[in-house]
């Protein structure tokens, strides 16, 4: 009898999956090392033909904050332990220790490290990496086996990361490829077993567990402003190269979508249920797993959903203390969420609170139609960051304006936006957060055509001027519907009012930038 893991993290009877060849192992390694903004150069050391199961790669990998040279030993699919233990898998080291002694003795906390890995590969996308502590196999015999429980592999499929202990009490780490960055940066303590020397080999001192210093400064920030001011771009610059979970709020968003919930999945011919983490659960797990790194949860279009209802009981977590940690904690919304998080972190988590290394960043435009109002109690728990209209940051490009006499005047996009905004402010008292931001159109929009983009016109006609003021911007004697505007633009005919065209005829405004 053999036991295997499914991609859903269930342990079932079955035969071992097919072994990935050397090329496939290299592809998986490269995919894992280039996740989360890492870069990697990988070099393969071709072994003699009889030893192709013991493949070594050297990888030079860089993160935003560190560089590593990794000596990586990769085994194919883990086979049964052959010791009448159907729940146990193994890899087998079949080289003399002297061949790789220098690598196995590398410091786990240095920039030059050794990784001892086994791949459990169901298909191209469903892979779990098992990692042993190479230092625990110093001076090994030839051959020597290293073991892992199939339940830990199943846990990694289901939750992303899991650990098990072998017969000598040593931790084996199991994780999906995208968690390799986490393993490398924390391997100095992930293999450490608390307590007396259960994890040490004869003659080896019991290592001391390393607890990373918790990063502080986390906060909640809302970026708001007119459409096209670059709110998302501002957020992108903040999270560049850092761990980030991103979501977009929408009118049907619910608390269970945001946090996570039990969802049905098909397992062979039956329906089962498992916890599917939402963006909040994923961001919280990442932050708790790596307390010494900045982690971000980005919420685009915060006010397109009833934000307070989507947060639910988590609303209380938004109050932070002086170092950025949540002042309060709350019960887990569901026991399934608690079980998932505790298993993912390999420790019991009793209450939910915001760690000091988790930033919540949100974007919104309060002037958009069809948005939900955000009440004061919710909004005051966020720092408000207004993103102003900066015409100097506008993309390059020009638009053709048809004047009253039928002539064409070409104006730069930033001049068009400023002239239009000044006119809307002076004639209609339009609020600043409803004006045209410099990135309302993109450089691609401007390169595609010199006609006034339809998305600018529909925003003016329907969003800003639906109820009054169309005559201040458009020539309503010639256009009564947006369809007529679109047709006249395509035919290079006038669409704007005399008052607006008078401002364009003066060329670039003196105050334009």
pLDDT the model gives residue 193: 66
Q: Are 104 and 59 in contact (CB under 8 A)?
A: no
Task: Give, as one character, the DSSP assignment of residue 75.
Answer: E
pLDDT the model gives residue 211: 47
The SS3 assignment for 2 reads: coil
Give the C-alpha separation, 513 to 500, whole Å.
19
Domains in the chain: ranges and CATH: 3-190 (no CATH), 220-386 (3.40.50.300), 391-505 (no CATH)
* C-alpha R_g of the chain: 29
Helix 413-428 vs helix 498-505: crossing angle, to nearest 10 = 140
Low-confidence ranges of the chain (pLDDT < 70): 1, 46-54, 64, 76-77, 81-84, 193-213, 265-269, 366-370, 507-513
Task: Give, as one character, the DSSP assignment of residue 91.
Answer: E
pLDDT the model gives residue 142: 80
C-alpha separations of 444 from 52, 386, 400, 439 in Å:
50, 26, 16, 11
pLDDT the model gives residue 210: 43
The SS3 assignment for 66 reads: coil
Give the C-alpha separation, 511 to 415, whole Å.
10
> Could you tell me where the beta strands, DSSP code E, fall in 408-507?
408-412
pTM score of the predicted model: 0.57
pLDDT the model gives residue 508: 45
Task: Classify the C-alpha dihedral 314-318-320-325 as positive or negative.
Answer: positive
pLDDT the model gives residue 54: 58
């Amino acid at each position: 009898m053999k036991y295997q893991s499914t991609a859903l993290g269930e342990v079932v009877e079955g035969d071992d999956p097919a072994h990935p060849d050397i090329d496939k192992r290299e592809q998986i390694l490269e995919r894992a090392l280039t996740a989360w903004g890492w870069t990697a150069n990988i070099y393969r050391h071709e072994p003699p033909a009889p030893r192709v199961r013991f493949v070594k790669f050297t990888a030079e990998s860089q993160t935003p904050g560190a560089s590593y040279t990794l000596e990586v030993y990769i085994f194919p699919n883990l086979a049964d332990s052959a010791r009448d233990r159907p729940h146990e898998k193994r890899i087998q080291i079949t080289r003399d220790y002297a061949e790789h002694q220098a690598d196995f003795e590398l410091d786990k906390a240095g920039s030059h490290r050794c990784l001892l890995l086994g791949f459990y590969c169901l298909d191209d996308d469903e892979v779990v990496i098992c990692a042993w502590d190479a230092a625990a196999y110093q001076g090994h015999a030839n051959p020597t086996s290293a073991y892992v429980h199939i339940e830990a592999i199943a846990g990694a499929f289901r939750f992303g990361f899991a650990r098990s202990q072998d017969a000598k009490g040593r931790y084996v780490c199991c994780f999906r490829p995208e968690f390799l960055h986490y393993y490398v940066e924390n391997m100095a303590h992930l293999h450490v077993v608390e307590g007396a020397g259960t994890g040490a080999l004869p003659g080896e001192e019991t290592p001391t567990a390393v607890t990373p210093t918790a990063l502080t400064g986390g906060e909640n920030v809302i970026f708001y402003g007119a459409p096209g001011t670059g709110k998302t771009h501002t957020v992108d610059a903040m999270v560049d190269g850092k761990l980030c979970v991103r979501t977009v709020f929408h009118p049907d968003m619910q608390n269970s979508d945001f946090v996570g919930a039990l969802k049905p999945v098909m397992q062979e011919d039956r329906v089962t249920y498992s916890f599917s983490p939402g963006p909040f659960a994923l961001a919280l797990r990442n932050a708790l797993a790596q307390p010494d790194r900045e982690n971000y949860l980005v919420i685009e279009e915060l006010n397109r959903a009833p934000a307070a209802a989507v947060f639910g009981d988590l609303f209380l977590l938004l109050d932070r203390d002086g170092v950025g940690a949540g002042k309060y904690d709350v019960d887990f919304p569901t026991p399934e969420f608690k079980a998932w998080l505790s298993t993912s972190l390999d420790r019991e988590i009793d209450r939910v609170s915001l760690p000091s290394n988790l930033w919540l960043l949100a974007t919104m435009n309060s002037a958009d139609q069809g948005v939900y109002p955000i009440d004061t109690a919710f909004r005051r728990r966020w720092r408000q960051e207004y993103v102003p209209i900066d015409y100097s940051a506008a993309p390059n490009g020009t638009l053709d304006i048809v004047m009253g006499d039928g002539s064409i005047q070409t104006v730069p996009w930033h001049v068009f936006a400023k002239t239009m905004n000044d006119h809307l402010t002076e004639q209609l008292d339009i609020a600043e957060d409803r004006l045209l931001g410099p990135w309302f159109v993109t450089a691609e929009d401007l390169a595609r055509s010199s006609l006034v983009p339809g998305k600018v016109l529909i925003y003016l006609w329907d969003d800003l001027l639906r109820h009054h003021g169309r005559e201040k911007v458009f020539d309503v004697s010639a256009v009564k519907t947006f369809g007529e505007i679109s047709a006249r633009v395509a035919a290079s005919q006038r669409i704007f009012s005399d008052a607006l065209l008078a401002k364009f005829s003066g060329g670039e405004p003196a105050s334009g930038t």
